[in-house]
Amino acid sequence: MSKGFYCTLERQLKATGVKDIENQMKRIIKEELPIQRANFPKKKAIYLFRNLNQLDKVRLLKNIRKQTVTMYSLLDLYDMYAIPPFESTAQTPLFYLKYFAPGFIMVFPHWQDLSALPEFRPQPKLARIFNEYVEWARILGIDNVGALNQAIKEGNGSEIIKVVEALHEKKIAYIADRVVREKSKIILIAGPSSAGKTTFTKRLAIQLIVNGVKPLVISTDDYFLPHSKTPKDESGSLDFETIGAVDVQLLNDHLLRIIKGKEVQMPKFNFLTGRRNKGQNVAATNDYVVLLEGIHCLNNALTRRIPKSLKFRIYISSLTQLNIDDHNRISTTDTRMIRRIARDTYFRGYRVQRVLRIWGSVRRGEEQNIYPFQEEADEMFNSALIYEPAVLKRFCVPIIKRIRKESAEYVEAKRLLDFFNLFYDLADRDVPSNSILREFIGGSSFLY
């Protein structure tokens, strides 16, 4: 978060202590120290980590099937890394630390520009989601992949699924209660690709009905301009990621009419013809709430004519995820990507190579159109499910294995296979039919 990684130590830090750490890091970088790579038998690696009191590594290694472990060393520090580090400390000169109690944020160059350091931007709402995730992990007793694997091995996978899903439902119910309490009329739901926006919106609608409110669900996709008027990106392709692809004028006209209780004929966008068709007629009553879902919903330009007092903004994404161990995180971007691999290959007819190939452009669109507005949200919903990589493994691994060595996507495929090898399999039979995960693996009770 805040353009970097949030880090904690096993003790409380002060701002002066963070500065001391930063100075030591700069000294190590200046000394151009080598980072050594070596393969160890698993038993020897477990023995080494136990002596170093890195018990998170011990539990992880005891609960994976690999018998050889790739280790990296710097001076007297040994560690494992999901993504191999550089060969020398001299290759990582750009960074700075920012005190953020009880730890610090390490800011480093963004993947789109490795030559410049981004400006630190506080994200207090995202920090609250992190603290919520820590509490959920405490309730489950699972703080890393090793603990998850151990629980699955002991036959507790079903219980984990039930508790995680209950935590999701509790948070959705809380958001619905707040919407009703604040008498909001237009609920704006935004998030990046494969965040689970559609299922979240449907589940929120059910909770609103429980509160005596009638939800009217609208997708901004139905307000796309005809393809003949859609802006194009730098490669000349139709750019559906930009807000310019949406008929903002028509959307605002319809929302204002709905607010006034007038009947509106909704559009229905046909992605095959690239045109809008006529949809159903709707007329809102006094006890209605509009749920507007789309990637631009936190951008005020989308609903610029709607009074702010009527709007309630929700940001949904895989905001925090289980760590592999104390020093290796699971990228939330990876979580969304493997969701998309399962959904697009099983249910949308895409080849896995295409899913991987376009992921970079999807992320660029998110950086421009979604992330700059996430702190504008009134509520954030973390759609990540601690157990989901163990379930997605069964769906994704057979597909990813189809990628041949000569393919341009092979390196990425190999990385993903190594990632899945860290997890025990978990069957999807206990995943409820209304779970966000069902949006990606099938078997949902909702229609999409």
| Predicted confidence (pLDDT) per residue in 26-54, tens digit | 999 999 999 999 999 999 999 999 999 99
Please determine, for residue 418, whether its predicted confidence score (pLDDT) is greater than 80: yes
Q: List pLDDT tens digits, range 196-255.
A: 999 999 999 999 999 999 999 999 999 999 999 999 887 788 888 889 999 999 999 999
Asked whether residue 185 carries a pLDDT value surpassing 90, the answer given is yes
Do 218 and 151 share a structural domain? yes
Residue finishing a domain among 108, 124, 140: 124
Same domain, yes or no: 75 and 137: no
Residue 111 has pLDDT above 80, yes or no: no
In a domain, 280, yes or no: yes
Q: Is residue 447 part of a domain?
A: no
- pLDDT score recorded for residue 427: 96
Same domain, 116 and 155: no
Q: Is the residue at 294 inside a domain?
A: yes
**Mean pLDDT over each residue of the chain, to the nearest integer:** 93
Q: Count of domains in the chain?
A: 2
Same-domain check for residues 197 and 270? yes
- The band of 82, judged by pLDDT with boundaries at 50, 70 and 90, is confident
The winner for highest mean pLDDT among 67-71, 76-80, 162-166 is: 162-166
Asked which of 84, 102, 124 is the last residue of a domain, the reply is: 124
Q: What is the CATH number of the domain that holds 378?
A: 3.40.50.300
Q: Does residue 106 share a domain with residue 17?
A: yes
Asked whether residue 448 is domain-assigned, the answer is no
**What is the predicted pLDDT for the residue at 321?**
83
- pTM, rounded to two decimals: 0.91
Q: Is the pLDDT of residue 303 over 80?
A: yes
Answer whether residue 188 is part of any domain.
yes
Pair 281, 384 in one domain: yes
Same domain, 280 and 409: yes
pLDDT tens column, 158-177? 999 999 999 999 999 999 99
Map the chain to HEC letters: CCCEEEECCCCCCCHHHHHHHHHHHHHHHHCCCECEEEEEEHHHHHHHHHHCCCHHHHHHHHCCCCCEEEEEEECCEEECCCCCCCCEHHHCCCCEEEEECCEEEEECCECCECCCCCCCCCCHHHHHHHHHHHHHHHHHCCCEHHHHHHHHHCCCHHHHHHHHHHHHHHHHHHHHHHHHHCCCCEEEEECCCCCCHHHHHHHHHHHHHHCCCEEEEEEHHHHECCHHHCCECCCCCECCCCHHHECHHHHHHHHHHHHCCCCEEEEEEECCCCEEEEEEEECCCCCEEEEEECCCCCCCCCCCCCCHHHEEEEEEECCCCCEEECCEECCHHHHHHHHHHHHHHHHCCCCHHHHHHHHHHHHHHHHHHCHHHHHHCCEEEECCCCCHHHHHHHHHHHHHCCCCCCCCCHHHHHHHHHHHCCCCCCCCCCCCCCCCCHHHHCCCCCCC
Same domain, 81 and 172: no
Per-residue model confidence as pLDDT tens digits over 246-290:
999 999 999 999 999 999 999 999 988 999 999 999 988 888 999
Domain C-terminal end among 81, 99, 124: 124
Same domain, 111 and 143: no
Enclosing domain of residue 285: 125-441
Whether 139 maps to a domain, the answer reads yes
pLDDT of 195 above 80: yes
* Banded model confidence at residue 367, pLDDT cuts 50, 70, 90: confident
Given a cut of 90, is residue 357 above it in pLDDT?
Answer: yes
pLDDT of residue 146: 93
115 and 132 share one domain: no
CATH number, residue 26: 3.30.980.10
Res 369: pLDDT: 87
* 16 domain residue, yes or no: yes
> What pLDDT is stored for residue 65 in this prediction?
81
Work out the average pLDDT over 90-107: 92
How high is the pLDDT of residue 1?
84
**What percentage of the chain has pLDDT greater than the value 90?**
76
Determine, yes or no, domain membership for 446: no
53 and 195 together in one domain: no
410 and 278 assigned to the same domain: yes
